[in-house]
Amino acid sequence: MNAPVDTRKVILPGATLGVLGGGQLGRMFAHAAQAMGYFTAVLDQDATSPAGLVSHHHVRTAYEDPQGLTELAQLCAAVTTEFENVPAGALNQLATSLPVSPAGASVAIAQDRAAEKAHFVKCGVPCAPYAVIESPEQLAAVNDALLPGILKTARMGYDGKGQIRVKTRAELVAGWQELGRVACVLEKMLPLAHECSVIVARGRDGTIVNLPVQRNLHRDGILAVTEVYEGNLPATQVEQAITAAKSVAIGLDYVGVLCVEFFVLDNGQLVVNEIAPRPHNSGHYSQNAMDVSQFELQVRSMTNLPLVQPRQHSATIMLNLLGDLWFKDSDTAQAPAWDQILALPGCHLHLYGKVDAKRARKMGHLNITADTPEQVRATALKAAGILGIAAF
């Protein structure tokens, strides 16, 4: 029988930190950990995964492979994750021998929209009216007041995947059939003004800090633009979003970095949309506009280092760089004009090391910083024009 895991011990630089998942979030976590003096290990079966390519150790197995998990546990002093669909069971297995954050139980809730909605209700955080559909009987019992709505698979949905808009009962029935009659959540469609998100980091001692509230623009279900500066949202909405995000994290007894996404309705009301148990695309600006990035917060929370409230030093806008930009002028992939972009003041380019550009694939992001909101918007719009990104 394993001895109890000491989760309170401070893990100092020089130790090896592990991450389940080899994508760009794992890559940026590895960069942050290495800058602080840690070694890193990645478990991902893709030999060319962005995180695996820059890490000291790369365990090339599936997430639930017992041998791979054992190897990762032997290498590491603590483990985190960068992908919300990592099996919670793998995290639970690792937790029998070393500190793991976030916990498998928290990740399991984030992976199931029905459980996620129930948690929001439990925390007293408003969300869109919804119904769970797991059977023909539940489908037939759906209240007409939920239409028009968005039918979402309860599991394995992200970046707009696994979602169908339905206006009538006939479309609802057809939509459930199209999604394979799997467990789904139907959410009432609400009049949206815009979207925002909050990233919090919580330690094992209960300390909780947050990044500023991020105003987000999505296109085709994928984040396109994040704007973070004073006045990006009314002060009352900022306060409500931070309070709600912290309530969600505390209710989960969460340890690690958590993103809580919100809809802002036409009447100014905030309703929570979903959570991501990891660093988030909308927090990438923190690499260049904050004195502590979301990835450093991830390192600090998993190693029991002090969590200090991050401070913003620049107005900032983040532009998501999708593979479509490589095909702006040709059917053959061609690198965008990075030299023109980097000639603009305050532009910080982050590419993820992905071998092939594909349409709708996240290839990188561009952080723009400036002294004022007006300056950062002007530069961001220039950069968007050069890249072929629609104005915002």
Residue-level pLDDT at 156: 75
CA distances from 150 to 189, 191, 239, 264, 277 (A): 6, 13, 28, 17, 23
- Burial group, residue 323, by CB count within 10 angstroms (0-12, 13-18, 19+): middle
Question: What is the pLDDT averaged over residues 199-225?
Answer: 97
Residue-level pLDDT at 329: 83
Judged against a pLDDT cut of 60, whether residue 149 lies above it is answered with yes
d(CA 22, CA 52) in angstroms, rounded, equals 6
Judged against a pLDDT cut of 60, whether residue 132 lies above it is answered with yes
Directed axis angle between helix 24-35 and helix 294-303, to 10°?
A: 70
Q: For 354-388, write each residue's pLDDT tens digit.
A: 989 999 999 999 999 999 999 999 999 999 999 99
Owner of token pair 């505390």 = 250
β-pairing verdict for 130-133 and 184-188 = antiparallel
For residues 7 and 99, is the Cβ–Cβ distance under 8 A? yes
d(CA 116, CA 347) in angstroms, rounded, equals 37
Judged against a pLDDT cut of 60, whether residue 306 lies above it is answered with yes
Q: How many residues does the chain have?
A: 392
Residue-level pLDDT at 212: 98
Residue-level pLDDT at 160: 63
d(CA 100, CA 92) in angstroms, rounded, equals 8
Tokens representing residue 112 in the block: 């199931």
* Type of residue at 277: P
Q: Is 168 left (phi over 0), alpha (psi -120 to 50) or beta?
A: beta
For residues 82 and 279, is the Cβ–Cβ distance under 8 A? yes
Judged against a pLDDT cut of 50, whether residue 1 lies above it is answered with no
| 84 confidence band (pLDDT: 50, 70, 90) | confident
pTM of the model: 0.95
Owner of token pair 């696994």 = 162
d(CA 41, CA 55) in angstroms, rounded, equals 6
Q: For 30-83, write each residue's pLDDT tens digit.
A: 999 999 999 999 999 999 999 999 999 999 999 999 999 999 999 999 999 999
Residue-level pLDDT at 116: 97
Strand partners, 263: 195, 271
Q: For 157-200, write each residue's pLDDT tens digit.
A: 666 678 999 999 999 999 999 999 999 999 999 999 999 999 99
Q: Which of 175, 183, 171 is nearest to 138 (CA)?
A: 183
Q: How far is CA 340 from the centre of its chain?
A: 29
Q: For 87-100, write each residue's pLDDT tens digit.
A: 999 999 999 999 99
